[in-house]
Chains A and B, each alone.
Chain A
Amino acid sequence: MADTPTSEPRKVFAPWLDPNQKPLVRFENVTKKYGDYTAVDNLTIDIFEREFFALLGPSGCGKTTLLRMLAGFEQPTSGRILMNGEDISKIPPNKRPINMMFQSYALFPHMTVAQNIGFGLKQEGKSKAEIDKRVDEMLKLVQLEPFAKRKPHQLSGGQRQRVALARSLAKSPKLLLLDEPLGALDKKLREKTQFELMSLQENLGLTFMIVTHDQEEAMTVSSRIAVMDKGIMVQVDTPAEIYEAPNSRYVADFIGDVNFMEVEVLRHEGAQIIVKSATLNEFKLETDSDLKDGEKVWLAIRPEKFIVSKEKPSDDQNMVQGKVWDIAYSGDTSTYHVRLEDGTTLKAQMANRRRVRNRDITWEDPVWVAWSYRAAVPLRN
């Protein structure tokens, strides 16, 4: 990459890679049990200032428990939670410099929008003038100035969401927790709000920690994603790494669509590894992970990495033959379900660059499915 003297390359934000960085929050061997049920299992993780950290997982994976322990509503069964190096486990929720935006918004129904936003400041014993000033600022921030005197039930879903956000930001918390903050909004509004949240976080220089079960949302907003399952963090990484280099079938499957193929490693040929599927041909693989000959692994291939064609593709890639079984049209892309010779089905996604009526591949067509040597990610189970 050629550096031009006028513009420095933008510095990548990755404090977790810097050993000298002090974390804002550290979970240290934190375990939470409810009777026999282990919600969070011996978990250790650092979260840094200015991060937008996403906890992603199915319901019951322990992500909300983690958030509630941080807010102070739950106590860890064992382990410590540190904030700026100090153990906060014993501090009650009302004394923590952490605020939370609740999934249900938890707006006080008997108070106006302004009273809701000013609630936290009032608890600190701030003067009325100070509170009013800050409330006005927050109303401006979330563009709700005309609604200050309304009660929550007189607002739309999106407006309530913004009141909840303003209320949790009013005290300028060191850390803002967001529990499924956009779960109640429709798709369009969600996408718009995701970008608002991101720019807010960046402009105010705050640290956000978000819980979500929506993988697209996690991918869009966060600096790092922790994929959780049964109380443990399966993988913690940037959205791109999580997507392109999942470390397990679970993560690959949870994030986006994926095809799995079980293969045996036959031999290494320079940079390339030759693998063989039990029912299909041999394939070539280029990968950073070090695989041993004779080992059995799963290949994970994203649907959009496939190229479907009627003509035989060029020789510098892997390919299999099959028949188009089904086509799912979704506007910008079409997903082809291709039935292979061994009876398995591959999902291949192609952008619809041409008008659909002109497309040349249709049901029952014999086709080639091709992918590059680097497209498949080998996963040990």
Chain B
Amino acid sequence: MNHSFNWGRFWLISIPFIWLLVFFLLPFIIVVKMSLSDMANAMPPYVPTLDLTQGWSSLMEYLKQLDFENYSFLMDDELYVLSYLSSLKIALISTFLTLLVGYPLAYGMAKMPEKWRPILLMMVILPFWTSFLIRVYSWIGILKGDGLLNSTLMALGLINEPLVIMNTTTAVYIGIVYSYLPFLVLPLYATLEKIDHSLLEAAADLGASPMKAFWQITFPMSLPGVVAGAFLVFIPAMGEFVIPDLLGGSETLMIGKTLWEEFFGNRDWPLASAVAVALLLLLVIPILFFQRMQEKQQEANS
């Protein structure tokens, strides 16, 4: 074996590593530090600021000024607790709704003749490449009071008064299901498509009706895809900003929106940072869980 130092390997690892340390990890440390600072009417709009030219004593002074005030504020003010809970609720319900829409779609795709499947797959991927913002925007024209949905339903005589969907949580559900549907369908389709057809034949051969075969074979075998897809919807939905901002109303509380308003509206950077840290803590469990699953999947594949 060659024991001389491998410079190529060193640089290969160091360059992306250092990049991520500087632009991913370091910013987080700053966010945590910021969440312990206080808001100020200055530029930058927070105190304390660290001035290392003043030496050791100033650092100690600086550390003394950091506190958990923002966090206790988060706990005390109903708005934040409610928006966490509401984010959780909205993310859970919309994940479930996405599953209801996405499972039959992925299943139908996997059951189509093989030559059709790449085209169907492309049709699922296509919206995913299209601007997220535009896709959310496209619902405004449909859902608003004098929008297409209401005018169609009224023209058909199904309703007399326009339905109020726009600027409600219902619109947010629709927006999330619509925007994240491909994220759920893709992994789910991949697992469903891999299920060996002879397993279903074997089940039928052993006396299982198509329904029983679905619940005993197809569904349990598709669970990894269901879980992966559900996480890919749930995690980003938790921190979603654009959808509640454009489609939701004032009663739609979501933590991503709260953070945005705290930062851009109130210019309270420390409090926004505290919200971010709290959101992250909330997401850490599902994210870690998801990563473990991904790694397991990779090991299984390799």
Contact A123 B207, beta carbon cutoff 8 Å: yes
Chain A contacts of B205 at CB under 8 A? 71-72, 93-94, 96, 98-100, 168
Instruction: Kindly state the separation between the CA atoms of A108 and B199 in the bound complex, as whole angstroms.
Output: 6
- A window 97-134: CB within 8 A of B: 98-100, 102-104, 106, 108-110, 119-120, 123-124
Known: A106-B198, A106-B201. A167 touches B221 (CB 8 A): no
Contact A102 B212, beta carbon cutoff 8 Å: no
Chain A contacts of B216 at CB under 8 A? 119
Contact B198 A124, beta carbon cutoff 8 Å: no
Chain B contacts of A99 at CB under 8 A? 205-206
- B window 180-234: CB within 8 A of A: 196, 198-199, 201-210, 212-213, 216-217, 220-221
Instruction: Kindly state the separation between the CA atoms of A365 and B203 in the bound complex, as whole angstroms.
Output: 62
Q: Which residue of A lies closest to B223 (CB)?
A: A110
Chain A contacts of B202 at CB under 8 A? 100, 102, 106, 108, 167
Against B, the Cβ 8 Å flags (1 = close, 0 = not) of A290-304 are 000000000000000
Instruction: Kindly state the separation between the CA atoms of A106 and B197 in the bound complex, as whole angstroms.
Output: 9
Contact B204 A119, beta carbon cutoff 8 Å: no
Chain B contacts of A171 at CB under 8 A? 206-207
Contact A104 B196, beta carbon cutoff 8 Å: yes
Instruction: Kindly state the separation between the CA atoms of A24 and B204 in the bound complex, as whole angstroms.
Output: 22
Chain B contacts of A106 at CB under 8 A? 196, 198-199, 201-202
Instruction: Kindly state the separation between the CA atoms of A82 and B199 in the bound complex, as whole angstroms.
Output: 26
A160 to B: closest C-beta gap in Å: 13
B204 to A: closest C-beta gap in Å: 4
Known: A123-B206, A123-B207. A108 touches B217 (CB 8 A): yes
Chain A contacts of B212 at CB under 8 A? 123
Contact B208 A94, beta carbon cutoff 8 Å: yes
| A95 interface hit (Cβ, 8 Å) | yes
Instruction: Kindly state the separation between the CA atoms of A304 and B204 in the bound complex, as whole angstroms.
Output: 47
Instruction: Kindly state the separation between the CA atoms of A85 and B198 in the bound complex, as whole angstroms.
Output: 29
Contact B201 A93, beta carbon cutoff 8 Å: yes
A83 to B: closest C-beta gap in Å: 15
Q: Which residue of B lies closest to A118 (CB)?
A: B206
Against A, the Cβ 8 Å flags (1 = close, 0 = not) of B224-265 are 000000000000000000000000000000000000000000
Q: Which of B201, B208, B213 contacts A102 (CB 8 A)?
A: B201
| A329 interface hit (Cβ, 8 Å) | no
| A73 interface hit (Cβ, 8 Å) | yes
Contact A94 B207, beta carbon cutoff 8 Å: yes
Known: A93-B204, A93-B205, A123-B206. A110 touches B221 (CB 8 A): yes
| A205 interface hit (Cβ, 8 Å) | no
Against B, the Cβ 8 Å flags (1 = close, 0 = not) of A159-196 are 00000000110010000000000000000000000000
Against A, the Cβ 8 Å flags (1 = close, 0 = not) of B86-119 are 0000000000000000000000000000000000
Contact A119 B206, beta carbon cutoff 8 Å: yes
Contact B199 A95, beta carbon cutoff 8 Å: no
Contact A123 B208, beta carbon cutoff 8 Å: yes
| A60 interface hit (Cβ, 8 Å) | no
Q: Which residue of A lies closest to B199 (CB)?
A: A106
A196 to B: closest C-beta gap in Å: 21
Chain B contacts of A94 at CB under 8 A? 203-210, 213
Chain A contacts of B203 at CB under 8 A? 94, 108, 119
Interface centre among A93, A124, A171 (most CB of B within 10 A): A93
Seed contacts A102-B201, A167-B202; 16 additional CB < 8 Å A-B pairs? A72-B205, A73-B204, A94-B205, A94-B208, A98-B205, A104-B198, A106-B196, A106-B198, A106-B199, A108-B199, A119-B203, A119-B208, A120-B206, A123-B206, A123-B209, A168-B206
**Chain A interfacial positions (CB closer than 8 Å to B):** 71-73, 92-96, 98-100, 102-104, 106, 108-110, 119-120, 123-124, 167-168, 171
Q: List 15 A-B contacts (CB under 8 A).
A: A71-B201, A92-B204, A93-B201, A93-B204, A94-B204, A94-B205, A94-B209, A99-B206, A106-B199, A108-B203, A119-B216, A120-B207, A123-B207, A123-B208, A123-B212
